[in-house]
């Protein structure tokens, strides 16, 4: 169990610091239905990420139900995931705003002020389990758990829960700030939003490079 958690934890941190979901929560917290929308987002985010990671972990672990360890194809999958993460890092870096230019704001952010809790939950599902970057990270985390604890359903469930918990800290942090800082919350959250939007490309490029290199290393070790 410890190995499964340890192998997947760095990937969970990559999901944790993903800027766009955090910015989405910040925008919800300065909208008309702040608490309801942000709560719906965080809860569905946790469930979506945990379910996806657990499903991949169980599928990967079922390939080697005994003590023989994961088969060769698991190593190949990790290599492929690692290469995809590196390619995603390159794309992220190439798409960064040039010096002095303001980063483009996704159009869906402008609509958040009119969100209902149901739409906030739908956005959490899209960003947590459907968005290509987070989908790739969640699959990588699930593969790491499944290969570290093959055939161990209990370990997979616990590791997936820990993964989802860590991955949710980023979107939960603005809610904590909102609830604990009172009148200062709006200015603090606005500053956080601006910083994360401006540094999105750098943050994600570095993380994707590190995680991609880790997955490639794990894949080569498994072969």
Q: What integer is the mean pLDDT of 99-106? A: 63
* pLDDT bucket at 18, cuts 50 / 70 / 90: confident
pLDDT in tens, 130-149: 888 888 888 888 888 888 88
Domain containing 112: what range?
2-222
Tokens representing residue 66 in the block: 């005994």
Q: How many domains does the chain have?
A: 1
Separation CA 177–CA 160 (nearest Å): 26
Q: Is the pLDDT of residue 165 over 90?
A: yes
Q: Is the pLDDT of residue 73 over 70?
A: no
This prediction's pTM: 0.79
Residue-wise DSSP of the chain = -HHHHHHHHHHHHHHHT-HHHHHHHHHHHTSTTHHHHHHHHHHHHHHHHHHHHHHHHHHHHTT--STT---HHHHHHHHHHHHHHHHHHHHHHHTSPPTTPPPPPPHHHHTGGG--HHHHHHHHHIIIIISHHHHHHHHHHHHHHHHHSTT-HHHHHHHHHHHHHHHHHHHHHHHHHHHHSGGGHHHHHHHHHHHHHHHHHHHHHHHHHHHHHHHHHHHHHH-
What pLDDT is stored for residue 52 in this prediction?
94
Percent of the chain with pLDDT over 70: 87
Residue-wise DSSP of 49-74 = HHHHHHHHHHHHHTT--STT---HHH
Separation CA 218–CA 213 (nearest Å): 9
What pLDDT is stored for residue 69 in this prediction?
54
* Contact criterion met (CB below 8 Å) for 37 and 174: no
Tokens representing residue 62 in the block: 């079922």
* Contact criterion met (CB below 8 Å) for 165 and 80: no
């Amino acid at each position: 169990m410890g190995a499964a958690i340890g192998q997947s934890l760095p990937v969970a941190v990559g999901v944790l610091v993903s800027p766009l979901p955090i910015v989405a929560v910040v925008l919800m917290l300065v909208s008309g239905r702040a608490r309801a929308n942000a709560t719906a987002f965080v809860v569905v985010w946790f469930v979506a990420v945990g379910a996806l990671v657990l499903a991949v972990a169980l599928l990967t672990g079922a390939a080697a139900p005994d003590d023989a360890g994961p088969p060769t194809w698991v190593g190949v999958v990790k290599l492929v995931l690692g290469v995809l993460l590196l390619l995603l890092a390159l794309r992220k870096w190439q798409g960064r705003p040039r010096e002095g230019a303001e980063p483009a704001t996704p159009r869906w952010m402008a609509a958040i002020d009119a969100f209902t809790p149901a739409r906030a939950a739908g956005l959490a599902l899209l960003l947590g389990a459907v968005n290509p970057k987070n989908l790739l990270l969640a699959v990588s985390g699930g593969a790491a758990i499944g290969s570290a604890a093959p055939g161990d359903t209990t370990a997979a469930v616990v590791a997936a829960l820990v993964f989802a918990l860590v991955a949710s800290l980023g979107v939960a942090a603005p809610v904590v700030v909102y609830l604990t800082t009172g009148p200062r919350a709006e200015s603090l959250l606005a500053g956080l939003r601006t910083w994360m939007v401006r540094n999105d490309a750098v943050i994600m490029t570095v993380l994707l490079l590190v995680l991609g290199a880790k997955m490639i290393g794990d894949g080569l070790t498994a072969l």
